[in-house]
Structure 1
Amino acid sequence: MSAAASLPLRDVQLPPSPPWWPPAPGWWLVFAALVLVVAAIWVWQWRARRARQRWLELFDAEVDQAGSPVLQVAAIASLLRRAARRYQPGAERLQGPAWLAFLDENNSRAFSDGDGALLLDGGYRPSVDAEAVQRLRVLARRRYLSLLTERRR
């Protein structure tokens, strides 16, 4: 008993706290998953931006190649019909006011009552005002892109 009494008593020794670096393997997996998600979102947005850019380049190239204002109106009408077919199959067959109403966006009557009405007969006229075609081009370019990028609800 004298040997046990001679030992000094000490308090409980706690192990050192774990270091913050390197993190546990689970945190590496979380970090890798986060990097993959961010990279996937970035690639998706980059591809969408690139597709929009190509569509606009196609629109501009086809309208520029048309030459005269009458042919430009016909080219714009053709491009809008192709985009409408992609947006809603069968929409490219609409005629007259129904076609213009389809092209109108969210409470806008820019095609039915505005510059877009030139699409109905502008491609068949002997001559068309170049300024009217330019206004139609701006309007149609925006709608062309929205038809290609929006998803039908």
Structure 2
Amino acid sequence: MNPDPASLENLRDLALPPPVPLWPPAPGWSILAAGLAAASLVAGWRSWRRYRANAYRREARRQLDAIARRVEAGRCAGAASELAVVLKRTALAAYPRSAVASLTGPAWLGFLDRTGRTTAFTDGAARGIAEWTFAGDRAVPAAALKAALRDARAWVRAHGRWDGRSEGTDRC
């Protein structure tokens, strides 16, 4: 070593710090991961609840498909009354019994139109459902029955759930 402090011989290489480790991550990444995990759990829980809440719709679609297969095969006897039963059961699953159970005829069809946001049940091919239910073995036109099935499927898919408000009834 040279005693002269300005001598280049006294210079040493720079001491480099060790490389930055990948683990443990900075606290922000842990917070972000926890937030994403919580959001995923909430989204999964809501999806599961929605799936379970719509079980009645899936069952109604299965029953309507079975009726449609019978109609396509030419076995229309009783299909109209079964269609009405499926619609009533579906409505009872989605709305309070007090708002649905007593409805018949035009009031029932109006309820279906109002809740399905359509006019297919009062003005369309499905308006015959109220009479067909009590037709017994009298022949219901297959074309009208197919159109009513189409409208019923659309109602099952699109009707809104009961939100706690009155459905226009004058009851206390």
Normalising by structure 2, report the TM-score. 0.62
Q: 2:122 maps to which residue? A: 112
Compare the two structures and name the one with the higher helix fraction.
1
Percent identity for Structure 1 against Structure 2? 30
How many positions carry a matched residue from both structures?
135
Is the CA contact (8 Å cut-off) linking 1:63 and 1:75 kept in structure 2?
no
Give SS of 2:147's match.
Answer: helix
Distance 1:139 1:88, change over 3 A: same
Normalising by structure 1, report the TM-score. 0.69
Is the CA contact (8 Å cut-off) linking 1:76 and 1:137 kept in structure 2?
yes
- Stretches of structure 2 that go unaligned for 5 or more consecutive residues are 6-16, 164-172
- Please state how far the C-alpha of 1:87 moved relative to its aligned partner: 2.0
1:37 aligns with 2:43: no
1:145 aligns with 2:154: no
Q: Deviations over 1:50-71 (max 9, x none)?
A: 8454542243235546873241
- Please state how far the C-alpha of 1:131 moved relative to its aligned partner: 1.0
Of residues 53-62 and 94-103 in structure 1, the stretch that sits farther from structure 2 once superposed is 53-62
- Counterpart selection for 2:62 from 57, 62, 70: 57
Distance 1:37 1:62, change over 3 A: farther
- Stretches of structure 1 that go unaligned for 5 or more consecutive residues are 1-5, 7-15
1:124 aligns with 2:134: yes
- The two structures, once aligned, show a CA RMSD in angstroms of 3.2
Matches of 2:44 and 2:67 in 1, distance apart?
30
